[in-house]
């Protein structure tokens, strides 16, 4: 015996089927949180432009800071055009990552028995600053000292360049060192266990000293003007 459903019941079933047909089936790749009714996860924090721009600077300093307290021997890799009175020829070249502060590295550069030079790298609000601290044997400053410049862009974690700044240009002009007013210095860490110090000028001058970071050498004396 057949049972006939009332017309009202048939209408209700039709409406229910229509409603179900309008629902989309969850995609297999849909986010699990949304399927479970949980709040959407927050996206990773975005770096602002300033942070992105200076990140390579911090990576560069971190790479160099790994060698704090160690000294390394170097050699002249490039000297173009070669000068007859090259102060580095035939001399033992040693860099010493000696002063390691949170925002500053001091790296004496010894040339034979000349302990007058120290590279000073300082983290600034916008990048990195390189200065050359030159002293006499009695510790007094040389007339040409604390020259250098600031990095003008982020550079890379491997290489940072420092065009000469206005104060250094004025010093060079005062001391009759006109060739130096177009200096750009650069430093590189890597690839591999290598550190490179570089001086270049638009006229074709290029000077590079390369240090082998894989083989520490005995520590040199304290640079002139520094505590032992």
Of 20-29, 57-66, 139-148, minimum mean pLDDT range? 20-29
The model's pLDDT over 182-222, given as tens digits with 9 standing for 90+, comes to 999 999 999 899 999 999 999 889 999 999 999 999 999 99
Residue 117, strand partner residues: 109, 134
User: How far, rounded to the nearest angstrom, does the alpha carbon of residue 18 sit from its chain's CA centroid?
Assistant: 63
Q: What is the residue whose two structure tokens read 């479970």?
A: 36
Residue 212, strand partner residues: 194
Q: Write down the domain spans for the chain.
A: 50-217
State how beta strands 194-200 and 184-189 pair. antiparallel
DSSP string, 10-23: HHHHHHHHHHHHTS
Tell me how long the chain is. 228
- Burial class from Cβ neighbours inside 10 Å (0-12, 13-18, 19+) for residue 197 reads buried
50-217 is classed in which CATH architecture? Beta Barrel (2.40)
Would you say 210 and 192 are in contact if contact means Cβ atoms under 8 Å apart? no
What lies within 8 Å, CB to CB, of 29 at 6+ separation is none
Token pair, residue 135, equals 């002293």
Would you say 87 and 111 are in contact if contact means Cβ atoms under 8 Å apart? yes
Residue 187, strand partner residues: 160, 197
Token pair, residue 143, equals 């007339």
What value does the mean pLDDT take over residues 129-141? 97
The distance in angstroms from the start CA to the end CA of the chain is: 112
pLDDT category of residue 166 using cuts at 50, 70 and 90: very high
What is the Cα–Cα distance from 182 to 195, expressed in whole angstroms?
Answer: 23
The DSSP letter of residue 68 is T
Token pair, residue 23, equals 């629902």
The model's pLDDT over 87-126, given as tens digits with 9 standing for 90+, comes to 888 899 999 999 999 899 999 999 999 999 999 999 999 8
Residue 2 pLDDT > 50, yes or no? Answer: no
């Amino acid at each position: 015996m057949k049972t006939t459903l009332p017309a009202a019941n048939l209408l209700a079933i039709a409406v229910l089927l229509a409603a179900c047909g309008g629902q989309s089936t969850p995609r297999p790749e849909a986010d699990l949180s949304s399927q479970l009714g949980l709040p959407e996860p927050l996206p990773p924090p975005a770096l602002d432009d300033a942070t992105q721009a200076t990140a390579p600077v911090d990576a560069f300093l971190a790479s160099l800071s790994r060698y704090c307290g160690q000294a390394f021997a170097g050699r002249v890799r490039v000297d173009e055009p070669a000068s007859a009175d090259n102060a580095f020829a035939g001399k033992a070249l040693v860099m010493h990552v000696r002063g390691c502060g949170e925002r500053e590295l001091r790296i004496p550069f010894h040339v034979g028995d000349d302990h007058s030079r120290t590279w000073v790298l300082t983290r600034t609000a916008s990048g990195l600053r390189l200065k050359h601290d030159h002293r006499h044997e009695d510790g007094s400053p040389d007339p040409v000292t604390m020259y250098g410049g600031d990095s003008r862009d982020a550079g890379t974690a491997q290489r940072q360049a420092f065009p000469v700044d206005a104060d250094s240009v004025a010093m060079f002009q005062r001391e009759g060192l006109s060739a130096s007013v177009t200096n750009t210095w650069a430093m590189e860490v890597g690839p591999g266990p290598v550190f490179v110090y570089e001086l270049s000028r638009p006229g074709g001058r290029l000077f590079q000293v390369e240090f082998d970071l894989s083989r520490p050498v005995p520590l040199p004396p304290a640079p002139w003007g520094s505590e032992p």
